[in-house]
Structure 1
Amino acid sequence: MTGEQGLRERKRQRTHDAISAAAISLFVERGFDRVSVAEVAAAAEVSKPTLFKYFATKEDLVLHRIADHRGESARVVHGRHPGEAPLAALRRHFLDGLDRHDPVTGLNDDPQVLAYHGMVFSTPSLAARLAGHAAAEEAALADALDDAAGTRRDERGRPAAGARPDGLTGRLAAAQIVAAQRVLARDNWRRLTEGRTATRAHPEAVAAADHAFTLLGAGLAPYRG
């Protein structure tokens, strides 16, 4: 990348971040449905056409913040440690997220993060888009689990027990794992909205995650190792 290209990219990123910050601030303050795209553009000091060059829809102004987490579970499975079972890798990753107070785990008590989650959970159009992201996450994770099961063989070289060639096992497993992670994150957010700090809620969040992944492991034999 040349110096001029790098400068253009930095300017583009600054504009992107300014629009996002203005949108989130207005949405949290007044409610997603009570703020127009024109008002966001005015607050960010850009035109509406410029705004739509960066964000295709109003919902994208909010949900782009989770873009870095798209396909994350699948990446964890693909990048797991040598000899580590997929479910063990996912469990480790979620617990690590709790330790870091990663917002995606729900265990982050920054007021802006709490307000952001509250807005997403309480706005039907955002919740619907979030469900769409969850479906895509399930599909990617199912493929990753199928790949993992396909590489595991018994002493006679046969596929791992419980794996099915039609991908049903992977799809069922992915649906359960993504649902469990969603429930855990929502419960962590609820604990914080009740007044607990992330530090105080951490032990309960870890215990809940351990319980959830233990239950998953009891039924997902092909992926627990």
Structure 2
Amino acid sequence: MSIDTLGLREQKKRETRQAISDHATQLFLQRGFDRTTIADIAAAARVAKMTVTNYFPRKEDLALDHHEEFVAGPAATLARRPEGESALAAMRREYMAALERHDPVIGFTGPAFARMIAESPTLVARLRELHDLREEALAERLTAETPDDPIGARAIAAQLAAADRLLFRELQSRMLTAPDGDPLDSIAAELAEMAHRVFDLLEPSLGTAAIR
């Protein structure tokens, strides 16, 4: 099989996955997550039910399509941070950059999508689980950097994760009340002020901790 054929096959897989995700999102917004079935999504995307579950083993993954990036994000930020930068400084820098680009991974989902999540106990529970996994990945990264102090690494990860959860929830709450089509710049500015306050409060305890 040629490289070109492999490339076309991978492109087709990506297109199929994206089409399934797009149709699922439309149905979730129209009907609600819990009232939409895998069969509904398969019919809308014109694929077999098995094809949907092959790409998305969990129905929640169809709604929270950035879940892998969400879980790995903070740990990846620390892995990329330059020598001499603390974990707190890296997290602050990345969060402020994500605010500027209105990154959906940190909560810029739009009002309709935020309401869809809030109205589904299944998705609310899945988000809690993803936050736990996110903290665990962060702890594992810090523990790998300081294997002689695993409890210290986990304590730092817990504080950073708590700040991360707080900012995510604050942004989601503003998404819930924002009018559809409302520009996001004002929300981003409000969250930027809040984020600086949160990270400043952590500075005395974490400012010189976990420096690469």
> Could you tell me the TM-score, scaled by structure 1's length?
0.82
8 A contact 1:86–1:148 mirrored in 2: no
- In the other structure, the counterpart of 1:85 is 86
Q: How does 1:1-225 map to 2 (within 5 A)?
A: 2-106=3-107, 108=108, 113-149=110-146, 165=149, 167-195=150-178, 197-220=183-206, 223=209
Q: Which amino acid counterpart does residue 205 of structure 1 have in structure 2?
A: L
What is the deviation of 1:45? 0.5
Task: State the SS of the aligned residue for 2:34.
Answer: helix
- Superposed displacement of residue 149, structure 1: 4.6
Distance 1:88 1:207, change over 3 A: same
Moved more, 15-24 or 62-71: 62-71
Higher relative contact order (CA 8 A, sep 6+): 2
1:120 Cα deviation from its structure 2 partner: 2.2
Task: Quote the Cα distance in structure 2 between the aligned partners of 1:24 and 1:181.
Answer: 25
For 1:83 and 1:46, the matched residues in 2 are separated by: 50
Which protein is bigger by CA-based radius of gyration? 1
Structure 1 distance, partners of 2:119, 2:13, is 31
Q: Is the 8 A contact 2:142 2:153 kept in 1?
A: yes
Structure 1 residues 142 and 60, CA, compared in 2 at 3 Å: closer, same or farther? same
Are 2:167 and 2:195, in contact at CA under 8 Å, matched by a contact in 1?
Answer: yes
1:124 and 1:218 map into 2 onto residues whose CA distance is 37
Q: Alignment RMSD, CA only?
A: 2.1
TM-score (normalised: structure 2): 0.87
The runs of 5 or more residues in structure 1 that have no matched partner are 151-163
User: Which residue of 2 is the match for residue 159 of structure 1?
Assistant: none
